Each structure stands twice: as C-alpha cells, then as structure tokens.
Amino acid sequence: MSRILVTVGMGPWPFDRLIGAIAPLCADHEVFAQTGTATVRPPCPHRPFVSFSELQERIDAADVVITHAGNTVRLVQRAHKVPVAVARQAGLGEMGNDHQVHYLRMEEVNGPVMAVWDVTRLPEAIAAHGEQQSRLLRERPVEPAAMPGHIIETLDSLCARLVRSRDY
C-alpha cells in the first residue's frame, strides 16, 4: 500500500477527468486528493485547496505524487521524487490552452516524470512507479534551483544590456 498525494493545482478549471480516475487507487492505497474546483468527489480524504506549506508536507510524506502537468511537477522533482503527471487539455475544458500538454511532452523526454496520457492507466503507473523513479532520478537529475543572488545578477545584466542598446 502506497501513500499517494493527488493535486490538481489552484486554477479555476475543474479537472474531473483526473479526480474521477483515482477511485480505483483509493481502494488499494492511502490517498489524499487536493481537488480544486472539481465537481467529482473521490472516495478518499480530500479538500479543494491546501496551503503551500501543507502541500510541501504532503509531497514529502507521499510515496507517489499524481499531479497536473503544471508547476507542481517541478516542486515534486525538487523534493527528489518523480511525479506522475497528467496534462490538462483545453479541448476537454480543463484549461484555457494546451501549454500543459506541450510541457509534459518535453518533460517526458528530458525530465524525471512519468507522463500518463490515459487516466485509466493510473493503477499501472503506480505499480511501476518505484522502479521508474529509481531509474529516472539516476538518468535525469534535476538542476538545482537558482539562488536569489544569481537571479538578481541575471536580471540586472539583462536590464543593463537593454539600456545600452536603447531597445526598450
């Protein structure tokens, strides 16, 4: 039995397709779902939203994190875990555009992530997660987060270049 966190983010679009697909997992695992604006209610403990600090605690405590293909992907990776990611699709009313589809396609090739394109295959992804996580973390390490000083230095340099070129 795995401890699974499901999170759909903070956006206004319901992600009923993902929340509805976790029901089989709730029967076999300890699952908590952050459901956002979903209209579907999963058969496991859930809340629409959690604080950022609670989300981080739940990520740290989880064996597996299932997430939308948004910012949470990198948050999970920075916790040295491989997320199981499902992209929201604009054509299904889950997002205003398909940037999550494009991001997940790139991340699937380059990053430590398990992309799930058919939510009925979530149980298979969970079963394979342990082995896949070990391999992906070894083969595709995540770069360390940028330090605040480096970000400031980079932005200052870009601003100085703009001023010098008068392209602003």
CA contacts within 13 A on the Cβ side of 156: 6
Strand 30-34, strand 46-47: pairing: parallel
Q: Looking at the predicted structure, is the pLDDT value of residue 84 above 90?
A: yes
User: What's the pLDDT tens digit per position in 16-63?
Assistant: 999 999 999 999 999 999 999 999 999 999 999 999 999 999 999 999
What CATH number corresponds to the domain at position 11? Answer: 3.40.50.2000
Count of structural domains within the chain: 1
- pTM of the entire predicted model: 0.86
* Residue ranges making up the domain that contains 39: 3-165
Contact 107, 125 (CB under 8 A): no
Q: Which pLDDT score is estimated for 167?
A: 54
